[in-house]
Structure 1
Amino acid sequence: MIDGLPPYPAYKDSGVPWLGKVPEHWEVVPLKRLAWFKSGAGFPVHYQGETSAEIPFFKVSDMNIRGNEKYLHVCANTVSMAVAQDLGATVLPAGTIVFPKVGGALLTNKRRIAANQCCIDNNMMGCVVRNGNRDFLFLIMNYIDLGQIAKPGPVPAISEGEVREIRVALPSAPEQTAIVRFLDYKDRRIRRSIRAKQKLIKLLEEYRQALIHQAVTGKIDVRTGKPYSAYKDSGVPWLGHVLEHWELKPLKRFVRLNASVLAETTPADYEFRYIDIGTVGTGFLTREPQRLRFGNAPSRARRVLHQGDTIISTVRTYLKAVYFVDKDPEALVCSTGFAVLTPGPSTQPKYVSYLVQSNTFTDRVTAESVGTAYPAIAEGRLGSFYVPVPPLPEQTAIVEYLDAETAKLDAAIAAARREIELLREYRERLIADVVTGKVNVREVAAQLPEEPPEEEAGTDEEEPVAEELATVDSQEESNGEE
């Protein structure tokens, strides 16, 4: 229970295990009493790509577009009323609460509110309020963990019928208003704190990238802290001038690409740790690799990693996912959505990682990628990029310098990320305790100052998290949406 907030004077058993006890005067009702639910429609590829029709057609990936953090405004696809009818897609009214209903995206428990009438695809479901306070119902839907209710199996899913029967605790209309007022007030302050920490992280990451760029492009001599004395034109427009005594090589002549793969004859019970796109940030892992057996692993889990390898994403390249394997990995495998760069004998392994983390390189990869929803670059094209290659002693000096400088920045970034994580955990706990009646906020809400309503365009929202983007995108890809 959240400290400082009193409980209600009397409680009763809700009869719902995950709800527990609720205030004595609250009702316990199925969601169908409050709203009707409608699944989305299939959205064939040949209908996608239109952006000027009158009805937005949202897909799961649209939930993570900047500006869609709470209210869905921005979408990649629109349809006409005639196309919606051809697809059998219900046109949902503005204010509909939408959420993923299948696969890994369901497990993220994301909820959004449609700012305008819209259609949704068949990986999503809409909740249209018919009784009560829409904002209170949005809070309830945020609290419900559909992953605990969904059908078990390799692809979790939930149906309209199952959602309709979920029982929730319902206070009176005035109490719903008080709860919404209190949580809105607290949520604004939590989001402001999170945004401030996200801005700090962005500044630290930009400084980190500037250090890497200066070092791997020879803008400074890391041994002296000063520029080198002689430069030459690289002949590569995006590289500009490079050091006179450094070589220029295609990446594929500097490293080996995808040197080791799991054979299709690998025993089904072979166990390994799996890195997918959602596991990797720029220079770090966002979470621990998943343990899998070959027999039930996705077909893209094929590229074997060894100590000293660097991986760089070749799909969804806007994520700039790069990771260096600095320790002897125990049965570590990555997705075929990465290119694996294995250094040669005259190469400092970690220099390769810093080189491909630099903005000069990642920006080029992004610029050369093809596709809108899932931009990707061919590995042959990646391998053809010319890169600056200093002598081995200078590679070692660059790595030692960057290790020392980025360690301090990485520690500060990790601390800020942890603070954001704690704030989000606090918010989730606060919402859970308030909407289930574990604490009574009526008196506190009545004393809160009046505040102007926030814009629905999402300008005051938190940044979406990179691994969340990758998780949702990966789910759509595995569902065959593209």
Structure 2
Amino acid sequence: MFRDLPPYAQTTQNPFWSAPTPSHWSVQPGLAVLRENRHKNDGLIESQVLSLSYGRVVVKPVEKQRGLVPDSYEGYQILDPGDIVVRPTDLQNDQTSIRVGHVGDRGIITSAYIGLRPAGDWSDSYAYLYLSVVDSSKRIYRMGSGLRQQLGWEDLKRMPCLVPSAEEQAAIVKYLAHANARIDKAIAAKRRLIALLEEQEQANAESLVRGDTEQDQISTGFPWLSRVPASWELLRVKKVLVGIEQGWSPQCDAQPAGPDEWGVLKAGCSNHGRFRSEENKKLPDGHETRPELEVQHGDLLVSRANTRELVGSAAVALNPREKLIFSDKTFRLKVRADRADTEFLALVMGSRSSRDQIEAGAVGASHSMQNIGQGVITNLWIGLPPVVVQKAIVDELHRRSEEFEAVVGKTRREIALLREFRTRLVADVVTGQVDVRAIAATLPDAPESFDNTVSATDDDLEEALSEGEE
């Protein structure tokens, strides 16, 4: 399906695409195949709000309609299934977002977006594919005007548009539906592999920090930590601390700090037990600093405010960049080196028994923002082996983590390659670099559905990817 796709026999050089396109395809201006949507929500006749998210037009749930919402939705535009949405703003500063979406549900969306309705000789599915390739190939960024390079209907209506026959458009749409289904299936299988590996890594870590391999175990009487090895201590975290600090949260710029600029870490800098120095906001130029709060190598940081699943996340800052301050949504724990290894303590605080205690102590009006006080952390009950055993457990987990990261990293790179392959394939098919009419005629009308929890290999797809890497 993916290999040895033939080119068209007769082609003509196309200036817009800087490539040859089929000679029998016509080239028409956007005005001939598209209409600007002018259907406003006068009288509030529609209430279902749509949103363009990662290239998909989705229904926005009522509970998520907060923040910068309009006083009235009367100025929004009404879209119908088959329409196309283009986000036209800020082309100069944002060249990574997916700007084109295909509407599947009737609803309303901000009039700051351009609503389009296929017309003339374009089908809505081919129109969407064509515009998505204009976006993915970055040609959309050559079309805007103004200081912030904003796209408008005036730009789109002059855009050169390839127009195959209705039969060829249908063949292209059919072929790409099948191709996308097979690529989605391969990506789903690889994501499932990553999820299984993450579950396995978490289970291995849990087992080690609980001391499951120790034969002599004693009962604790606690529901969240039922037993510990007899040679380990059962104690509260405060017994291994010499202090706990809370950070500082001045008003910051939205962007991350540069290499020689001061930055304030976000609450999520310790999510899932991994320190992320890139999770920071720049301290404005000329603002006072708090050097005593600068994060140092080996600091144990704990999230004080986050979602219920992430509040209390603990991570050790290993070789952090300079000039990073932790915020008031983060605790810094000062650990007694003779009693506890900071990395081991972070691992224990991420274990299920600690998570149960932390989540039970979290408070907050909404699930999306829960808070914990210092007492929730200092009063955690944990099982603690001798320091030498703690360090040995950390070393073993580091060894296993290297193996895990190697496999997961390889799988993520394969997912990235599949996405790149999809982008290139769609562009080649939609712009007539390859002829899919013959293979489309052999395919069923609808692609086969698949269960994304089931792993599957696709030899044809793997071979096509291998050819692309050569």
TM-score if structure 2 supplies the norm length?
A: 0.70
Counterpart-to-counterpart distance in 2, 1:233 and 1:399: 27
Q: Any conservation in 2 of the 1:36–1:128 contact (CA below 8 Å)?
A: yes
Report the AA paired with residue 107 of structure 2: C
| Gaps in structure 2 of 5+ consecutive residues | 455-470
Alignment of 1:436 with 2:431, yes or no, is yes
Q: How does 1:43-442 map to 2 (within 5 A)?
A: 55-60=47-52, 63=53, 72=58, 75-76=61-62, 87-98=74-85, 100-102=87-89, 107-109=96-98, 111-121=100-110, 125-131=114-120, 132-143=122-133, 144-145=135-136, 148-149=141-142, 158-216=151-209, 218=210, 220-221=211-212, 225-226=213-214, 228-234=216-222, 245-249=233-237, 256-259=244-247, 270-271=260-261, 282=272, 289=278, 304-309=294-299, 314-315=305-306, 324=315, 327-331=318-322, 333=324, 339=330, 341-346=332-337, 347-359=340-352, 368=362, 375-378=368-371, 380=373, 383=377, 386=380, 388=382, 390=384, 391-442=386-437
Q: Any conservation in 2 of the 1:254–1:343 contact (CA below 8 Å)?
A: yes
Partner SS state of residue 439, structure 1: coil
Report the AA paired with residue 10 of structure 1: Q
Counterpart-to-counterpart distance in 2, 1:405 and 1:127: 52
Q: Any conservation in 2 of the 1:96–1:126 contact (CA below 8 Å)?
A: yes
Report the AA paired with residue 182 of structure 2: R
- Tell me: higher relative CO, structure 1 or 2? Use CA pairs within 8 A at least 6 residues apart: 1
Partner SS state of residue 77, structure 2: coil
Shift in Å, 1:113: 3.4
Q: Any conservation in 2 of the 1:320–1:362 contact (CA below 8 Å)?
A: no
Shift in Å, 1:108: 2.4
Counterpart-to-counterpart distance in 1, 2:94 and 2:357: 30
Q: Any conservation in 1 of the 2:249–2:264 contact (CA below 8 Å)?
A: no
String of CA shifts for 1:190-211, please: whole Å, max 9, x gaps.
1111111111111111111112
| Gaps in structure 1 of 5+ consecutive residues | 48-52, 463-482
Shift in Å, 1:181: 1.4
Counterpart-to-counterpart distance in 2, 1:21 and 1:273: 50
Partner SS state of residue 382, structure 2: strand
Q: Any conservation in 2 of the 1:73–1:114 contact (CA below 8 Å)?
A: no
Q: Any conservation in 1 of the 2:49–2:59 contact (CA below 8 Å)?
A: no
Change (3 A) 1:460 1:214: closer
Q: How does 1:3-42 map to 2 (within 5 A)?
A: 4-16=4-16, 19-37=18-36
Counterpart-to-counterpart distance in 1, 2:341 and 2:245: 16
Report the AA paired with residue 58 of structure 1: L
Counterpart-to-counterpart distance in 1, 2:325 and 2:39: 33
Change (3 A) 1:39 1:226: farther
Identity %: 22
More divergent stretch after superposition (183-192 vs 341-350): 341-350
Aligned residue pair count: 426
Q: Which residue of 2 aligns with 1:449?
A: 443
Q: Any conservation in 1 of the 2:144–2:150 contact (CA below 8 Å)?
A: yes
Change (3 A) 1:129 1:152: closer
Shift in Å, 1:289: 4.2
Counterpart-to-counterpart distance in 1, 2:308 and 2:24: 53
Partner SS state of residue 128, structure 1: strand
String of CA shifts for 1:284-323, please: whole Å, max 9, x gaps.
689x949997558999xx9854322455664467679968
Report the AA paired with residue 184 of structure 1: A
Counterpart-to-counterpart distance in 1, 2:365 and 2:99: 26
Counterpart-to-counterpart distance in 2, 1:324 and 1:116: 43
Counterpart-to-counterpart distance in 1, 2:246 and 2:371: 13
Change (3 A) 1:138 1:276: farther
Shift in Å, 1:250: 6.3
Change (3 A) 1:275 1:433: farther
Partner SS state of residue 22, structure 1: strand
Counterpart-to-counterpart distance in 2, 1:459 and 1:74: 26
CA RMSD of aligned residues (A): 5.1
String of CA shifts for 1:355-384, please: whole Å, max 9, x gaps.
344455567777847577x92233647757
Counterpart-to-counterpart distance in 1, 2:157 and 2:285: 33
Counterpart-to-counterpart distance in 2, 1:193 and 1:167: 34
Q: Any conservation in 2 of the 1:99–1:110 contact (CA below 8 Å)?
A: yes
Counterpart-to-counterpart distance in 2, 1:134 and 1:251: 67
More divergent stretch after superposition (354-363 vs 171-180): 354-363
